[in-house]
Structure 1
Amino acid sequence: MTAEEIAEDLVVLPNRGADLVPNIGLIGGRDAVLVVDTGMGPRNAEKVLEFAVEHARGRQLYLTTTHFHPEHAFGAQVFREHATYLVNQAQADDLANRGAGYLEMFRGLGEWIAEQLEGVEIPTPDLVYPESHTLDLGGRTVRMRATGRAHSAGDQLVTVPDAGVVFTGDLVETGQFAIFPWFPPHDTDVSGTRWIAVLDKLIAEAPPVVVPGHGDVGGPELITEVRDYLALVRDETWRRCDAAMGEPVILEEVRAAMIARRPDWRGREWIDNTVAAFCAEHGR
């Protein structure tokens, strides 16, 4: 497993553009190491755990996940006897209330995914915090913050102040259209307007190093790029809503405009979800 060191005792296991594979982080202090995200399913998480144990060299292990979606959190069971798993309350609620439904949905996306999800048990965190939590790793602190509803109801930012690094989960991606889990009537927690507001606050903080949920590590420009894209989709969608266009026409026109603007981006299948979600938020 190849790791990229982005600061002292802070490494990323990069997804290298692979579908449904997140960037995974390991943040080390004198006494403990925090793992950020698990990969999808037990087999992938076992590789992450093996790497983490070797990297920790006897230090205590903690685990957190940026949000509850399967490729980020559905390997947590592997860490059960080895690490303390902590998340914000809204994410714990997502795991309890939506985890089983997402497991079933992802199993239906293809044979390879179903194989990765064999034997998954929806995890129950060991520690749950309300809005924010500071974890002392020994000579290094990590700040975990619930953002409120955005990409999901339980999104979490993981910040390493001394290194100027933030792990954003799927609030930020590199080189692809934003992943928009708008699946009515089963899940409508994603909010484009709230997502933009979260990114505006993060832009104001100007973190020097941004680790996105998927894609290459970069700087604060990654956040601005996603915020600008979402704001453009919102504006183009709402302008057509104000003109009383039908949703099928809005989807077609906005999709074409976004692809023309970013022909090199992956994940075109998410554009329609994004437009549909903004249609639902229009006028609220």
Structure 2
Amino acid sequence: MTDEQVPEGTADLTPDRIPDPAVRISGARDIAHDLLVIPNQGVALVPNIGVMGGTRAVLVVETGMGTANAEQVLGVATELARGRRVYVTTTHFHPEHAFGAHVFAGEATYLVNRAQADDLRAKGPGYLEMFRGFGGSIARRLDGVRVPTPDVVYDGGYDLDLGGRTVRLRPTGRGHTKGDQVVEVPDAGVLFTGDLAETGQFAIFPWFPPHDTDVSGVRWLDVIDRLAAGRPRVVVPGHGEIGGPRVLTDVRDYLRELRDETWRRRDAAMGEAEIVAEVRALLVERHPEWGGREWIEPGVGCLCAEHPA
């Protein structure tokens, strides 16, 4: 992906507008027995990271962006494991979630769903180039990074036995990306959603035509409906505060709102630029406290493209 191909909608990812995307392990906290979360603490391009254990093994969910972040996460996992086997998985291929998995090579088994592995192979190099192009601390975090190659790729679902705790890895189908995966910890009632759910911000739509159009607002809404029906006790979103089932219902309600307001105007034969302006103004008025306003426009663009003929 060249400089000329940097997708629209990423203008806010510039060195002067984004702090160093550093994982802060000092904020780690237990949310269930032998299950801790390293929260993103509101820092852009830092995901919520999970580390959980059983009697025989430990699983890490997400790595953070770049070598230094992932080394910290591996250190937490190794300390928790105390000789137990270590696994790592990621919810999707985007750089802040997966572009630290190379650090775990030889130390842990990296396993993901088939569609995510396809994304890593086909789209990972372009995203690595794009994010390095933002310069500043983002580029420094990605210095020397290579797109990771999973050790285990599964089809359907994967039940990982950690010893007295079985963790369910479940691909959801196309939503935020083609290869989204959620991680369920049934004994604790915990669900890691990746960027299918966020709190305190507008949903992230990586709609960058013609370079990346895999996000689907319509299918995303179907996925959230299914996840919300499960009523997990604790929801760990990709970014933002950890919460309960309302994290999912709030995202569902927003996606419905975005779809309905976009399609209503599309039905009235309005042009896309006019739809964007009206829907953006309306949603900012309704959710003035939310961040990520730059993601409203690509969300509208995606749903315009998905509008039924």
TM-score by length of 1: 0.99
> Which one of 244, 252, 266 corresponds to residue 241 of structure 1?
266
User: 1:275 aligned to 2:293?
Assistant: no
User: 1:150 aligned to 2:175?
Assistant: yes
> What is the CA-CA distance between 1:66 and the residue it aligns to?
0.4
> Which one of 37, 44, 66 corresponds to residue 69 of structure 2?
44
User: 1:198 aligned to 2:217?
Assistant: no
> Which one of 185, 198, 217 corresponds to residue 173 of structure 1?
198
Q: Which residue of 2 aligns with 1:78?
A: 103
Give the counterpart letter for 2:139 in structure 1.
Answer: A
> What is the CA-CA distance between 1:257 and the residue it aligns to?
0.6
What's the secondary structure of 2:215's corresponding residue? coil
Superposed, which structure 2 residues align to 1:56-205 within 5 Å? 56-205=81-230
Give the counterpart letter for 2:238 in structure 1.
Answer: G
Q: Distance in 2 between matches of 1:115 and 1:252?
A: 35
Give the counterpart letter for 2:77 in structure 1.
Answer: A
> What is the CA-CA distance between 1:109 and the residue it aligns to?
2.3
Count matched residues.
284
Give the counterpart letter for 1:38 in structure 2.
Answer: T
What's the secondary structure of 2:187's corresponding residue? helix
Give the counterpart letter for 1:230 in structure 2.
Answer: L
Give the counterpart letter for 1:17 in structure 2.
Answer: G
Q: Which residue of 2 aligns with 1:256?
A: 281
Q: Which residue of 1 aligns with 2:9?
A: none
> Which one of 193, 209, 216 corresponds to residue 234 of structure 2?
209
What's the secondary structure of 1:12's corresponding residue? strand
What's the secondary structure of 1:163's corresponding residue? coil
What's the secondary structure of 1:150's corresponding residue? coil
Give the counterpart letter for 1:68 in structure 2.
Answer: F
Q: Distance in 1 between matches of 2:205 and 2:223?
A: 15
Give the counterpart letter for 2:304 in structure 1.
Answer: C
Give the counterpart letter for 1:277 in structure 2.
Answer: C
Runs of 4+ more than 3 Å apart: none
Give the counterpart letter for 1:84 in structure 2.
Answer: T
What do you get for the CA RMSD once the two structures are aligned?
0.7
Q: Which residue of 2 aligns with 1:30?
A: 55
Kindly provide the CA deviation profile for residues 140-166 of structure 1, in whole angstroms up to 9, marking residues without a partner as x. 000000001000000001000000000
Kindly provide the CA deviation profile for residues 153-185 of structure 1, in whole angstroms up to 9, marking residues without a partner as x. 000010000000000000000101111100110
Q: Distance in 1 between matches of 2:133 and 2:248?
A: 32
TM-score by length of 2: 0.91
Q: Distance in 2 between matches of 1:68 and 1:95?
A: 6
> What is the CA-CA distance between 1:252 and the residue it aligns to?
0.3
What's the secondary structure of 2:37's corresponding residue? strand
Q: Which runs of 5+ in 1 are unaligned?
A: none
Task: Identify which range, 104-113 or 137-146, moves more after superposition.
Answer: 104-113
Kindly provide the CA deviation profile for residues 225-257 of structure 1, in whole angstroms up to 9, marking residues without a partner as x. 011101101000000000000111000000001
What's the secondary structure of 1:162's corresponding residue? coil
> What is the CA-CA distance between 1:110 and the residue it aligns to?
3.2
